[in-house]
Structure 1
Amino acid sequence: MTTVEDLIEPRRAERDGFHGSLPISIATMLFSGTSSQVGAAVGAQAFGAIGPAGVVGVRQLVAAAVLLPIARPPMHRFTWRQWWPTLALGVVFAVMNLGLYTAIDRIGLGLAVTLEFLGPLSVALARSRTRLDAACAVLAGAGVVVLVAPGPSSDWLGIGAGLLGALCWAAYILLNAEVGARLPGLQAPAAASTVAVILYLPVLITLAVNEKFTLAAFAVAAAAGLGSSAVPYACDLMMLRRVPAQFFGVFMSVQPVLASVVGIVLLGELLGAREWAGVVMVIAANAITTTRSYTRARNAQAGTGISR
């Protein structure tokens, strides 16, 4: 049952640093990231039949179908204070996923997710409070640059789509933290997914009328919806009630690593020495930040203050 304490958890996370078990929070974020990248790789298999927009539309449909019966948000009773971040989050869902899937289609999973990571990195930089935290964010950003290494032959449309996804991911983090303070449980992602489905109805209807939906394509896109939408949306909302947005943003630097591994295993996208160098830089920044955050949380819980 949701209590008043649950409703104020996002603000408490911002003020005190962390709420609850940090190891469990880290494990949940890793699970969310892995689910998201596996779902993206699976969804890419349906690009040939229904395109990135079709996969995103089915993803959102599945997410809404899973989350609505669980959360049962009373949308007819939402106030404008609850509706505006929910509507904004729904638009972000729609645009973020389209940007990512377009980038995956053109430049591959690892590079697309690496570009998208610039979003949470910007959140980390904007909210950094110490020089070492800022240095870790810069190190992660340098790793991203090494991984991307754009040149004259780069697919700029694909890179632009990835950057659009990055902008939306930053908004996703901030809006999730905001809407989590105004709606209990999973009501926010359930309602926002419904908004995204409405935005994609023209795409879904067009594909259905033109008989583009094969059983295989729909099944693959639906699996992507479970792995990349329903599971991460729920996990991320819960984590943004337990950890500060800055920590969440920097910890998500693991996403390019997960994407690279999933790309190798499921899509055969092998990485060279330069790409792996970037991966190591991202891992190092993530490890330092996670260790420092864990130390600060333990000190705060012990009543000794937050370590600087």
Structure 2
Amino acid sequence: MNVLGGVATMIASGGSNQIGAAIGARAFGSIGPAGVVAVRQFVAAAVLLPVARPDVRRFTWGQWWPTLLLGLVFATMNLSLYTAVDRIGLGLAVTLEFLGPLAVALAGSRTRMDLLCAVGAAAGVYVLVLPGGSSDYLGVGLGLLAAACWAAYILLNRLLGARLPGLQAPAAATAVSATLYLPVAVFLIAQGRVDATGILYAVAAGVFSSVIPYAADLVALRRVPPRFFGLVMSIHPVLAALAGWAILAQSLAGHEWLGIAMVVAANTVAVAVSNRRS
């Protein structure tokens, strides 16, 4: 029952994350993807800093440089993902982003099964995108940039987990990212583009995509083994597609659903095999 509760919490966390992304996309018309990301970072910093209370004055350089990099990763990952969502839709953008964790799971391995997972994921992306004259290659490229940032996020979190206690690292990194987006906020105010409805959508995105998932994931990891965490993460592209359909009226073609299923299956197998070896 404890494990089932943990899995349910993780599914709720994933659903919250993707609902937040879809709600945030509704503000693109007024404040743009960069404005949504800026507000999301401000909300996350306002919640995390009082909770974690990182004592940045005592940070050593060995703690500072990965924290600064993580802040840059936060800033780039969210902007590239939201811009990709604006161009190619939520389901496709999140599926491409999900290649980041898959790459980390497969990195350094030369087994036949891992090679098959990599080939399966690549085939899934091809089926998902079906490259042609009408393809939005910039949107696809931004989704892949978000994937690279997610891979970097995983590696930096592993490093910082051994160097800083609790939530100090993500709190400090979120503060760095929020600082980087201050010029965006100033620009929007100067241009008179601060729309109340858009800001409300962006704040909701910050709550649903940052605050709730952070708390839910912490609760879930106390109830389930780490391998379950990786496996349940595989449903994010499906949840993103459903959120895009329900909130943004973004329907997917049959080949796009097939491509999502192939990427999810490749990730599930890769994580399962990786956990079995560890």
Give the TM-score taking structure 1 as reference length. Answer: 0.79
Say if 1:161 and 1:285 are closer, same or farther in 2 by CA, change over 3 A: closer
- The change in CA–CA distance for 1:195 and 1:120 in structure 2 (over 3 A counts) is same
Match for residue 176 of structure 2 among 182, 186, 195:
195
Q: Tell me whether 1:162 sits opposite 2:143 in the alignment.
A: yes
1:80 corresponds to which residue?
61
Higher relative contact order (CA 8 A, sep 6+): 2
Measured after TM superposition, the shift of residue 139 of structure 1 is: 2.5
Letter in 2 for 1:263: G
Q: CA RMSD in A?
A: 2.8
Q: 1:82 to 1:196 in 2, by over 3 A?
A: same
Distance change in 2, residues 1:23/1:130 (3 Å): farther
Gaps of 5+ in 2: none
How many angstroms apart in 2 are the aligned matches of 1:139 and 1:152? 24
1:11 maps to what in 2? none
Q: 108-117 or 51-60, which moves further after superposition? A: 108-117
Question: Could you tell me how far apart the structure 1 residues matched to 2:108 and 2:230 are?
Answer: 9
Q: How does 1:58-137 map to 2 (within 5 A)?
A: 58-128=39-109, 130-137=111-118
2:102–2:270: 8 Å Cα contact kept in structure 1?
no
210-219 or 120-129, which moves further after superposition? 120-129
Percent identity among equivalent residues? Answer: 62
User: 203-212 or 280-289, which moves further after superposition?
Assistant: 280-289
Q: Which residue is equivalent to 1:15?
A: none
Per-residue displacement from partner, 1:117-158 (whole Å, max 9, x unpaired)?
Answer: 221221122054753344335434432332122211111221
Match of 1:47 in 2: 28
Is 2:152 the counterpart of 1:171?
A: yes
Partners of 2:106 and 2:270 within 8 A in 1: no
**Which runs of 5 or more structure 1 residues have no equivalent in the other structure?**
1-20, 297-305
Question: What is the match of residue 226 of structure 2?
Answer: 243
1:152 maps to 2:133: yes
Tell me the equivalent position of 1:13: none
TM-score relative to the length of structure 2: 0.87
Q: 2 CA distance for matches of 1:28 and 1:293?
A: 23
Q: How far apart, CA to CA, are the structure 2 residues paired with 1:173 and 1:239?
A: 18
1:270 aligned residue: 251
Q: Is the 8 A contact 1:189 1:233 kept in 2?
A: no
| Whole-angstrom distance in 1 between the partners of 2:269 and 2:43 | 37
Tell me the SS of whatever aligns to 1:124.
Answer: helix
2:25 partner letter: A
Confirm or deny: 8 A CA contact 1:102 1:161 kept in the other structure: yes
Q: Is the 1:176–1:237 contact (alpha carbons within 8 Å) kept by the matching residues of 2?
A: no
Q: Give SS of 2:41's match.
A: helix
> Is 1:186 aligned to residue 178 of structure 2?
no
Deviations 1:83-123 (A, max 9, x none): 11111100000000000011111111111112212212211
Q: Cα 1:254–1:42, aligned 2, differ >3 Å: closer, same or farther?
A: same
